[in-house]
Structure 1
């Protein structure tokens, strides 16, 4: 099983003067220590449960572009970009650029968006949820078209593009798409139709485990209905629990999650503490053992 490192907060001691250095050092520890996927959030305001808008938050794709320059191996993604944040043609171009400059390490993590306060705060339209999902599906179709030989028009309900020219193309010909969230009627159907990866929320305890099991069953059903290959979809999750405090217990959990088909678990540094020693402990004490799970 692989590990992802999700760098979800920049609020660390003395962040005003150490933010860039700590982000860089943490990323390089992860990159050199066998972490498979490095993600940051795509928000303009920090989430309320993590301190709210008056905590620091860097713009996502600028951050990933920087991280591409200071790492060599780790895959890079937002977890996840909201469909409302960028016009889909520009989003496809941005992700293509990241993939080219990182030499094929980009992933497009995307979802329907939810944080209405940051939209209102910065004056960005925030449509109702049904429309956001319509826009998400059109965005997935536009990205697929721009990462293909078809550079013609796209005429959708919400987006109209006269030309979907995109040069240079991603080195792999396309960019893998991770669709975040566990909504059973819409989100997991979009994973089955358009996605190369899903991202669910897991953690210690039977309830969290059974929730992930159920979501994967729903995803399999959508794949069977749509005629897509369930086994080809990378199953990832964010683990909401302590890891370094009891590594043996965490690895026992991972044995169970691997049996469900989870192949990558995203872990988050301890909030409001220096992430560098946490990342060091992760690559020294967890990565080698988890790779054997």
Structure 2
């Protein structure tokens, strides 16, 4: 099983002076230590459960572009891009640029968006949930067309593009992997089956994950998709350093379900030390799962 690191919290001691240095060192430790995926959030205000808008938050794709320059091997993505924040044609160009400049390490993580306060606060339209999912599907279609040989028009209900030109193309072929985040059974997992290379589920319990994967398999059957071509990932909420043996035992159950990557959020005030310890004590134990 592979490990991902989700850098969600910038509020560490002396963040006003050390934010960039701490982020950089964490990324380098993860890159050199064998972590497979490095993600940051696509938020403009910090989430309420991490302190809300008064706490620091960096724009996601600017951050990934910077991280591409200070790392060499690790995959880079937002977990996940809010479909309401960027026009799909520009989003495809942004992810392509990240892929080119990182020499083929970009992933497009995508979701319907949910944080109403930052939309209202910064003047970004926040349509109803049904429309957000419609826009999400059109975004997936537009990105797919931008990454194909078809540079003609796209005419959707919400987006209309006269030319889907995208030069240079991405390094990864046929395109950077597309990950859809979320566990919604009726819409989200159907979109995974139709459009995505990977899903990202909440690791609530092996039983819950097994149920979500069963739903995904049924959607794949319905649309004629090979279920095994989808990378199954999840985000966990535990600190593996508290009980490494117990953590590995838990992940054995998830691995048996087909989960190939678990993403963790560094807790506490020192993400560099935490990431170092995880690379030394946990990653070698996951290699055999």
1:154 maps to 154
1:93 maps to 93
The structure 1 residue matched to 2:270, chosen from 271, 274, 279, is 274
Q: Deviations over 1:39-75 (max 9, x none)?
A: 0000000000111110000000000000000000000
In 1: Cα distance, 2:50 partner to 2:246 partner = 26
1:53 maps to 53
Moved over 4 A (4+): none
How far has the Cα of 1:242 moved from its partner? 2.1
2:182 maps to 181
How far has the Cα of 1:31 moved from its partner? 0.2
2:217 maps to 220
Q: Find the residue that maps to 2:282 and give its secondary structure.
A: helix
Q: Find the residue that maps to 1:166 and give its secondary structure.
A: coil
1:238 maps to 235
* Unmatched runs of 5 consecutive residues or more in structure 2: none
Equivalent runs, 1:19-38 vs 2, <5 Å: 19-38=19-38
In 2: Cα distance, 1:161 partner to 1:211 partner = 40
* Unmatched runs of 5 consecutive residues or more in structure 1: none
Q: Deviations over 1:163-217 (max 9, x none)?
A: 00000000123111000000000000000000000000114xxxx2211110000
Q: Deviations over 1:135-178 (max 9, x none)?
A: 00000000000000000000000000000000000012311100
1:15 maps to 15
How far has the Cα of 1:102 moved from its partner? 0.3
In 2: Cα distance, 1:274 partner to 1:239 partner = 19
**Across the two proteins, how many residue pairs are aligned to each other?**
288
**TM-score calculated relative to the size of structure 2:** 0.99
In 2: Cα distance, 1:116 partner to 1:56 partner = 18
